[in-house]
Structure 1
């Protein structure tokens, strides 16, 4: 089994950090673009897609800056993160997605994130 490596994707977004953070960190926001149904209880998100459910615990978060989650079935040290940055040059809001995948799967995983983020941008009117 190959070891997973961390990769990072950046998406410029025309939206305030506070609005974007709501879509990244709340059940209602995540349900708009990330999963069919989202629940949150005891620091754990439950995401449902087509009847299948996956759970992810919140490892760390800072209001309007980032939220880091770990799938409960994933090894410690692996996580996915949504981080909000502001470009010092353009003052543009940038969504940074960090995730882990096997090297040969990074392109496919990146494509999946591209699709998901495109849906997010559609929901926020970007």
Structure 2
């Protein structure tokens, strides 16, 4: 079995960090763009896509800065993260997505994230 590697994607977004954070960290926000249905109980998020359920625990978060999740079926050192940064010069908001995939799957996984983030930006009007 091939070991998964961390990869990072960056997306400029026209949105305040506060609004963006809500879409990345709350069940109602995530349900708008990430999954068909999202529930949360005691820090464990249940994501549903077309009747298929996946659970992820929220590992860490900082208000308006980042949120990190780990799929319950994944190894302890693998996670996916949404980080919100501001550029110094233009003060533009950047969404940074970090995730793990096998090297040969990074391109496909990146395209999936790009599709998902495009839907997110549509929902927030960016």
1:90 is displaced (CA, Å) by 1.4
TM (normalized to structure 1)? 0.99
Distance of 1:24 and 1:58 partners within structure 2:
11
Which runs of 5 or more residues in structure 1 are unaligned?
A: none
Would you say how many aligned residue pairs link Structure 1 and Structure 2? Answer: 126
Structure 1 residue matching 2:8: 3-state secondary structure: strand
Distance of 2:89 and 2:54 partners within structure 1:
38
Aligned to 1:90: 90
Which runs of 5 or more residues in structure 2 are unaligned?
A: none
1:64 is displaced (CA, Å) by 0.3
Aligned to 1:13: 13
1:89 is displaced (CA, Å) by 1.8
Aligned to 1:53: 53
Please list every run of at least 4 consecutive aligned residues from structure 1 whose deviation after the TM superposition is greater than 4 angstroms: none
TM (normalized to structure 2)? 0.99
Aligned to 1:64: 64
What is the root-mean-square deviation of aligned Cα atoms in Å?
A: 0.4
